[in-house]
């Protein structure tokens, strides 16, 4: 049991961020925190951690946590909260039918939590409407896998990127989004000369680590890969035996490919790439047996995401380069447990354990669960689900561990829809976020470090997330909360779990239940684990055989899970962004992550260290476009689409293609005035996967005239709302607000006094260049600093941040507070010679170096050589020094 674990030694667990799923060693400090290190024994990372993972220890504080159940914002006991949830669900189900209830889950949940939620909804409440933020992340990969392989299977493992001779990264900024895997690739590149090709409309840190970068036009990946299929065929590089024996659909696929992208010239013109770059890529790919094609959100988050996935897989199937060491397609998952969610059926179009809604499968699951109300059909996928909420068809929604008011496309519409629900239940770690703030019932869920269970990473590897911290307040695991509600609804027997291991065993059993090998996902070898064995479970890749052994790769044998047993090579039509740009909306808006933040920053935002990298929401734009539109570096821009708008800091960069914009996904209403990129993203989805096209929304951008730019660093949070633009981030001992004003306050003094805490004020004012700076001290300690200027060029805040750690600001630092960095020049001490501004310390130094009269001192320092009024004091200083020196001289 968690409670009995010794807290002084390191606990092996798994990082809660990206899909790499790195092993972490957490050593509790006994005070609610922990020292974090990489787990050298974990096969995903072998001890490495990225910046986010390494900063996990800084995100364990309880300041922002939800610690008690709340109804309508008031603290209540668990019984009351659970009664309210169960009562609400029962009433709504009775009045409007079970299908008026929906669950919106998260790739952050543990497999066990996911399993219980899915079982409760689909088996007992009887609603199929269970979807997850994984829909936004890799559902196109799921659909692509299922079309090609007949199952949602990633054929490869991470080792392959090290064994390969060519690694392609398509639509992936792995350097920032999957940093540890990227490091493994880079080490292999340095040591073995592995070639790396990146395909991305943006030039990124990832492409800097590549041998070839293809800055592809948004939405045209299918043409590039179709062209490769043709090139391979033309150069007799296909594995005809594999194509003939193990696949189907090649003829149609190559015909469609040839029709549109048969020549390199065609491909180049369609993709906006140089002919020579395309040829280089094709030549390398053709000539390299050991090639791994990794793909991520740039492929998935598209209205043709599934097609793009299949266009990539097609090339691997046609060459038989699949499931082999160093050869195959590799989907890089965004979240730590997106795959675990897929396994339990957390997506609306899956039932459970990789089973769908066929009568046979439903019957099987019904019997296994003893389910009284098994859902009949596929449920609504995320975007559809929230449209149904807006339309009033869904009356009750339970959100667990995710923030759809920020992250879904058309987020303003989503936020408005949430307000119309009869019952919004949110299970959360944090007390406040854009979604939780709208909830009728808030339930405090266990956070990373408190909860206990498993996650599955991008290479099908199931790892334990283990408890190493006591649960604070009244926080409970999600599975406990769900089971309690189930019991109140009358299903106590089916939800009588005592531990995460209980649930895992049931989940593992279901995966093997009546599984004659037709279902890839089978971990029944783990279904008989004892609590202790579960506790000690080493990372293992599914499928897991009866002997408990995992599986590194699949499909090298040419056996697939389609009914034919063959893999499907899918005919892929040329793609394009779902909505083309137009005169009114001339830019293509791309979205993505930045290196040091995760999702909506509810955790990474707590780390001061991670805020240093990028502290504000921004829009990256090609310098030519920026110039044409009068968008100066660091100024503010209004980015608009048909769906919403955002106010963002302009970052002009040659990494962007002309006509393209990039905006990060992390900022929310909690930490910015208008930085929610979700509000801009169109709700158009892939027809197979339902994944929204988040990387190609037509947009426009215009300069926002601001009168002033500034920042406030403060020990206590300031009220930023009301500023024309603001973005908040954390720093050690306080918070940072970057801001801009659209009008000049009548009085800087009055204006800043309203914004800042009371205290001793130091100010700097240059009216002409419109610079105003204030430092506020109390009891000698720095409480706040504000800088404002007419331009966005301001001093760096890093040195100022460090001043908040000082218990007392010394005389020299006092002035430096308004300069933004140490003013230099030694502390001279009190001025002795006013004419030449010679301080006591300089005079002492002159005496120490041998000056023994006022005249000597004057020669060295000029002190006393003008008006002479300090000569008496110089004499005294010289005399007292020589007296003090006497005993020494006597020795």
Site of interaction with other proteins (CB under 8 A): 760-769, 771, 777, 811, 814-816, 818-819, 823-825, 828, 831, 834-837, 839, 866-873, 875
Nearer to other proteins, 612 or 819 (CB): 819
Determine the Cα–Cα distance for residues 482 and 427; give it in Å rounded to an integer.
Answer: 10
Residue 784 Cβ, how far from other proteins at the closest point, in Å? 14
Residue 750 Cβ, how far from other proteins at the closest point, in Å? 15
Determine the Cα–Cα distance for residues 389 and 423; give it in Å rounded to an integer.
Answer: 11
Reported as type and span, the H/E element at residue 531 is helix 531-535
Residue 616 Cβ, how far from other proteins at the closest point, in Å? 22
Nearer to other proteins, 705 or 760 (CB): 760
Residue 760 Cβ, how far from other proteins at the closest point, in Å? 4
CB atoms inside a 10 Å sphere around CB 587:
24
Determine the Cα–Cα distance for residues 405 and 385; give it in Å rounded to an integer.
Answer: 13
Determine the Cα–Cα distance for residues 836 and 859; give it in Å rounded to an integer.
Answer: 12
Reported in sequence order, the residue ranges of 156-232 that DSSP labels E, i.e. its strands, are: 166-170, 195-199, 212-214
Nearer to other proteins, 609 or 815 (CB): 815
Nearer to other proteins, 374 or 817 (CB): 817
For residue 424, the cross-strand partners are 397
The phi, psi pair for 570, rounded to 5°, reads -95, 135
Q: What is the DSSP letter of 215?
A: -
Nearer to other proteins, 687 or 780 (CB): 780
Q: How far is CA 178 from the centre of its chain?
A: 10
Determine the Cα–Cα distance for residues 663 and 340; give it in Å rounded to an integer.
Answer: 29
Nearer to other proteins, 433 or 771 (CB): 771
Given the DSSP bridges, would you call strands 831-833 and 567-568 parallel, antiparallel or unpaired?
A: unpaired
- Considering only the C-alpha atoms of the chain, give the largest distance between any 2 of them, rounded to a whole number of Å: 107
The phi, psi pair for 232, rounded to 5°, reads -60, -45
Nearer to other proteins, 6 or 768 (CB): 768
Residue 769 Cβ, how far from other proteins at the closest point, in Å? 7
Nearer to other proteins, 46 or 764 (CB): 764
Reported as type and span, the H/E element at residue 291 is strand 291-295
Reference 632, options 572, 704, 700; nearest CA is 704
Nearer to other proteins, 530 or 882 (CB): 882
Reference 323, options 230, 246, 257, 212; nearest CA is 246
Residue 744 Cβ, how far from other proteins at the closest point, in Å? 16
Nearer to other proteins, 869 or 880 (CB): 869
Residue 764 Cβ, how far from other proteins at the closest point, in Å? 5
CB 131 within 8 Å of CB 430: no
Determine the Cα–Cα distance for residues 617 and 740; give it in Å rounded to an integer.
Answer: 13
Nearer to other proteins, 533 or 766 (CB): 766
CB 280 within 8 Å of CB 166: no
Q: What is the DSSP letter of 561?
A: S
Residue 677 Cβ, how far from other proteins at the closest point, in Å? 34
Given the DSSP bridges, would you call strands 587-592 and 660-664 parallel, antiparallel or unpaired?
A: parallel
Given the DSSP bridges, would you call strands 645-652 and 540-541 parallel, antiparallel or unpaired?
A: unpaired
Residue 857 Cβ, how far from other proteins at the closest point, in Å? 15
Determine the Cα–Cα distance for residues 711 and 727; give it in Å rounded to an integer.
Answer: 9
Residue 725 Cβ, how far from other proteins at the closest point, in Å? 23
Determine the Cα–Cα distance for residues 535 and 3; give it in Å rounded to an integer.
Answer: 13
Residue 710 Cβ, how far from other proteins at the closest point, in Å? 14
Nearer to other proteins, 430 or 817 (CB): 817
List of residues 6+ apart from 35 with CB closer than 8 A: 26, 27, 29, 57
Residue 867 Cβ, how far from other proteins at the closest point, in Å? 5
């Amino acid at each position: 049991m968690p409670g009995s674990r010794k807290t002084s030694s390191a606990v092996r667990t798994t990082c809660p961020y990206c899909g790499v799923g790195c092993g972490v060693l957490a050593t509790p400090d006994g005070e609610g925190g922990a020292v974090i290190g990489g787990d050298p024994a974990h096969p995903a990372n072998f001890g490495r951690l990225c910046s986010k993972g390494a900063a996990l220890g800084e995100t364990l504080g309880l300041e922002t946590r939800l610690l008690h159940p709340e109804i309508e914002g008031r603290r209540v006991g668990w019984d009351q909260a659970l009664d309210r949830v169960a009562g609400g669900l029962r009433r709504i189900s009775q009045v409007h039918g079970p299908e008026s209830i929906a669950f919106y889950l998260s790739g952050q949940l543990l497999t066990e939590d996911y399993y219980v939620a899915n079982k409760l909804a689909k088996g007992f409440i009887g609603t199929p409407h269970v979807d997850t933020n994984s829909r936004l992340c890799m559902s196109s990969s799921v659909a692509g896998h299922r079309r090609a392989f007949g199952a949602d299977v990633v054929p490869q493992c991470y080792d392959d990127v090290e064994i390969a001779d060519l690694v392609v990264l398509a639509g992936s900024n792995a350097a920032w989004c999957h940093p540890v895997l990227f490091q493994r690739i880079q080490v292999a590149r340095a040591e073995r000369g592995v070639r790396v090709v990146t395909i991305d409309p943006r030039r990124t840190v990832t492409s800097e680590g590549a041998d070839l970068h293809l800055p592809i036009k948004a939405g045209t990946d299918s043409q590039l890969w179709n062209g490769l299929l043709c090139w391979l065929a033309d150069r007799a590089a296909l594995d005809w035996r594999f194509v003939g024996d193990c696949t189907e659909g090649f003829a149609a696929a190559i015909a469609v490919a040839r029709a549109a992208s048969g020549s390199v010239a065609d491909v180049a013109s369609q993709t906006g790439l140089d002919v020579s770059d395309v040829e280089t890529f094709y030549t390398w790919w053709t000539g390299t047996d050991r090639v791994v094609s990794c793909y991520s959100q740039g492929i998935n988050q598209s209205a043709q995401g599934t097609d793009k996935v299949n266009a990539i897989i097609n090339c691997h199937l046609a060459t038989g380069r699949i499931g082999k060491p160093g050869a195959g397609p590799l989907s890089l998952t965004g979240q730590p447990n997106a795959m675990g969610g897929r396994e339990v059926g957390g997506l609306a179009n899956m039932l459970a354990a990789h089973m769908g809604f066929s009568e046979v499968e439903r019957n099987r699951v019904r019997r296994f669960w003893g389910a009284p109300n098994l859902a009949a059909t596929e449920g609504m996928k995320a975007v559809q689900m929230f449209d149904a909420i807006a339309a009033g068809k869904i009356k009750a929604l339970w959100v667990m561990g995710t923030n759809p008011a920020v992250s879904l496309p058309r987020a303003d519409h989503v936020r408005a829809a949430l307000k119309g629900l009869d019952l919004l239940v949110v299970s959360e770690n944090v007390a406040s976020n854009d979604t939780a703030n709208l909830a009728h019932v808030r339930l405090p869920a266990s956070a990373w470090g408190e909860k206990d269970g498993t996650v599955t990473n991008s290479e099908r590897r199931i790892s334990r997330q283990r408890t190493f911290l006591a649960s604070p307040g009244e926080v409970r695991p999600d599975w406990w909360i769900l089971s309690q509600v189930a019991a109140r609804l009358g299903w106590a027997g089916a939800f009588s779990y005592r531990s995460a291991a209980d649930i895992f065993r049931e989940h593992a059993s279901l995966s093997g239940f009546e599984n004659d090998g037709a279902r890839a996902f089978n971990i029944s070898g783990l279904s008989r684990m004892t609590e202790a064995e579960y506790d000690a479970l080493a990372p293992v890749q599914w499928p897991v055989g009866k002997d408990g052994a995992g599986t590194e790769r699949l499909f090298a044998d040419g056996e697939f899970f389609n009914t034919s047993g063959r893999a499907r090579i899918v005919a892929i039509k040329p793609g394009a962004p779902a909505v083309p740009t137009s005169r009114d909306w001339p830019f293509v808006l791309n979205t993505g992550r930045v290196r040091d933040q995760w999702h909506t920053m509810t955790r990474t935002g707590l780390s001061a260290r991670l805020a240093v990298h990028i502290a504000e929401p921004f829009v990256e734009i090609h310098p030519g476009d920026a110039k044409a539109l009068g968008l100066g570096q660091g100024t503010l821009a209004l980015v608009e689409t048909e769906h919403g708008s955002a106010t963002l800091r302009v970052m002009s960069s040659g990494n962007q293609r002309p006509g393209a914009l990039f905006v990060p996904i992390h900022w929310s209403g909690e930490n910015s005035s208008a930085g929610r990129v979700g509000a801009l993203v169109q709700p158009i989805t892939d027809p197979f996967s339902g994944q929204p096209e988040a990387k190609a929304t037509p947009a426009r951008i215009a300069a926002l005239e601001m009168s002033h730019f500034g920042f406030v660093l403060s020990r206590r949070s300031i009220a930023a709302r009301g500023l024309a633009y603001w973005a908040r981030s954390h720093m050690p001992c306080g918070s940072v607000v970057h801001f801009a004003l659209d009008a000049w306050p009548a009085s800087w003094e009055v204006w800043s006094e309203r914004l800042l805490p009371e205290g001793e004020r130091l100010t700097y004012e240059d009216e002409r260049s419109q610079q105003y700076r204030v430092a506020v001290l109390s009891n000698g300690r720095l409480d706040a600093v504000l800088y404002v200027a007419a331009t966005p060029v301001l001093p760096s805040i890093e040195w100022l941040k460090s001043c908040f750690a000082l218990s007392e600001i010394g005389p020299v630092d006092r002035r430096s507070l308004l300069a933004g960095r140490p003013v230099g020049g030694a502390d001279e001490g009190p001025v002795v010679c006013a004419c030449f501004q010679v301080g006591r310390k300089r005079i002492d130094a002159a005496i120490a170096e041998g000056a023994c009269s006022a005249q000597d001192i004057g020669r060295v320092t000029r002190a006393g050589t003008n008006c002479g009024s300090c000569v008496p004091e110089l004499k005294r200083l010289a005399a007292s020094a020589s007296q003090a020196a006497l005993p020494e001289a006597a020795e």
